């Protein structure tokens, strides 16, 4: 291929936007002449990309959420295909968001090289999508070593770049400054609540976390709670859910997830990217996940692995407790958390296990390695 002039990047969720933004920044670091445009959010825009459609309302959970947003997805697909015709980019980079992106890849139908960054979890469920990847994706760039082996075993070109979170996850403030800024008591233990980054997730998971936290507070007097608020979700969602908990030492803090983790002694974390962020910070935690019942009944039979938390999947064993759907009850969660908090040896073992997980994510510089793989491949 001749010199790369224009790359189109498409993501659809906050975690994808985070990874896409760092990837775009790394591509421009290697070659500032490349134009980047596409579909994304704050991070991709800040990296210097021209955004044709913001992702704020695109994230979905489960089949019924998808069905409600089908008209939006068809409109978005049409917009992207028209932009591809107009702008004639040299390559498309799809970032996660597999339900939409794999269908889009079929529509593009090899007219332009397509690179997929952040693999769909086809090793966990719906392995049939491997055929679509084999037919329409020119190269996979993956975050986990086992994914590279998985794709190569299916004769698909794949490269392991490592996990970009290793470069991203770090507090933005000194612990003491953060505590002072938000008026947090210095004498109490801290439990951080990370209920996800999507509206429906938060509606399903935060009430369970808060009910669990309330029970924990009854048993441990000297405890405070911080909720890491997603900037993508309106504050009203959080205030409505927390309204009945005025007698708790509770703060909602926006856009400071890593600082909330930094001051935490333990965390309750929604399954997803946040589990790896918490692991990198080496904070003991429990995974909690609850979704719409019909979505769960449709989704569960497709899952072929025993764990939902990425840290347990990478470890190949349960190193972090998981509370999923019917098992995600405040009584069960609070009992387990209190047991862990009362056992320093268990906390130390958990931290040692998380340090091993961090070492399995590769080395720093993943976004730059991914960018170089893309440029080398296209050249």
pLDDT at 260 over 90: yes
Total domains present in the chain: 2
pLDDT digits (tens, 9 = 90+) for 59-76: 666 665 667 777 888 999
Instruction: Give the predicted TM-score (pTM) of the model.
Output: 0.87
Let me know if residue 168 belongs to a domain: no
Q: 158 and 179 in one domain?
A: no
In a domain, 221, yes or no: yes
For residue range 317-336, what is the model confidence (pLDDT) as tens digits? 999 999 999 999 999 999 99
352 in the same domain as 219: yes
CATH number of residue 306's parent domain: 3.40.50.2000
Which residues pair with residue 8 across a beta bridge? 37, 92
Question: Sign of torsion, CA 28 197 311 10?
Answer: negative
- 42 in the same domain as 184: no
Average model confidence (pLDDT) across the chain: 92
238 and 122, same domain (yes or no): no
pLDDT in tens, 73-104: 899 999 999 999 999 999 999 999 998 999 99
Question: Does any domain span residue 144?
Answer: yes
DSSP string of 12-24? -SHHHHHHHHHHH
pLDDT digits (tens, 9 = 90+) for 276-307: 999 999 999 999 999 877 766 766 666 677 88
pLDDT number for residue 183:
86
Residue 212: pLDDT above 70?
yes
Number of Cβ atoms within 10 Å of the Cβ of 225 = 26
Per-residue pLDDT tens for 128-183? 889 999 999 999 999 999 999 999 999 999 999 999 999 999 999 999 999 999 98
**Structural domain span for residue 102:** 6-163+362-378
Task: Specify burial of residue 247 (Cβ count, 10 A radius: 0-12, 13-18, 19+).
Answer: exposed
Do 120 and 222 lie in one domain? The reply is no
What does the radius of gyration of the chain's CA atoms come to, in whole angstroms? 21
């Amino acid at each position: 291929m001749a010199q790369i002039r224009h790359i189109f990047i498409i993501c659809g969720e906050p975690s994808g936007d985070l990874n896409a933004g760092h990837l775009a920044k790394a591509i421009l670091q290697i070659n500032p002449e490349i134009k980047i445009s596409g579909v994304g959010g704050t991070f991709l825009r800040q990296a210097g990309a021209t955004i044709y459609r913001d992702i704020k309302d695109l994230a979905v959970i489960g089949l019924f959420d998808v069905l409600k947003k089908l008209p939006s997805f068809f409109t978005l697909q049409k917009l992207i295909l028209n932009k591809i015709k107009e702008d004639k980019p040299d390559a498309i980079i799809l970032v996660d968001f597999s339900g939409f992106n794999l269908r889009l890849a079929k529509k593009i139908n090899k007219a332009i090289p397509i690179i997929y960054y952040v693999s769909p979890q086809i090793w966990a469920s719906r392995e049939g999508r491997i055929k679509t990847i084999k037919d329409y994706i020119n190269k996979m760039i993956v975050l986990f070593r086992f994914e590279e082996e998985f794709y190569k075993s299916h004769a698909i070109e794949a490269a392991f770049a490592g996990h970009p979170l290793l470069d991203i996850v770090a507090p933005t403030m000194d612990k003491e400054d953060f505590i002072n800024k938000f008026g947090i008591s210095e004498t109490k233990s801290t439990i951080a609540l990370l209920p996800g980054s999507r509206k429906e997730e938060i509606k399903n998971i935060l009430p369970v976390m808060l009910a669990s936290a309330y029970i924990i507070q009854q048993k441990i007097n000297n405890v405070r709670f911080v909720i890491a608020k997603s900037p993508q979700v309106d504050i009203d969602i959080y205030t409505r859910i927390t309204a009945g908990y005025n007698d708790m030492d509770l703060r909602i803090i926006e856009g400071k997830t890593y600082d909330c983790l930094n001051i935490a002694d333990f965390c309750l974390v929604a399954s997803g990217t946040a589990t790896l962020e918490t692991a990198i910070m080496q904070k003991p935690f429990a995974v909690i996940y609850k979704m719409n019942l019909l979505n769960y009944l449709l989704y569960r039979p497709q899952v072929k692995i025993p764990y939902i938390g990425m840290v347990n999947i990478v470890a190949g064993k349960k190193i972090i407790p998981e509370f999923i759907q019917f098992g995600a009850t405040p009584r069960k969660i609070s009992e387990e958390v209190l047991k862990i908090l009362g056992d320093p040896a268990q906390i130390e073992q958990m931290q040692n296990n998380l340090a091993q997980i961090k070492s399995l994510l590769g080395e720093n510089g993943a976004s730059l390695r991914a960018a170089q793989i893309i440029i080398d491949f296209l050249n």
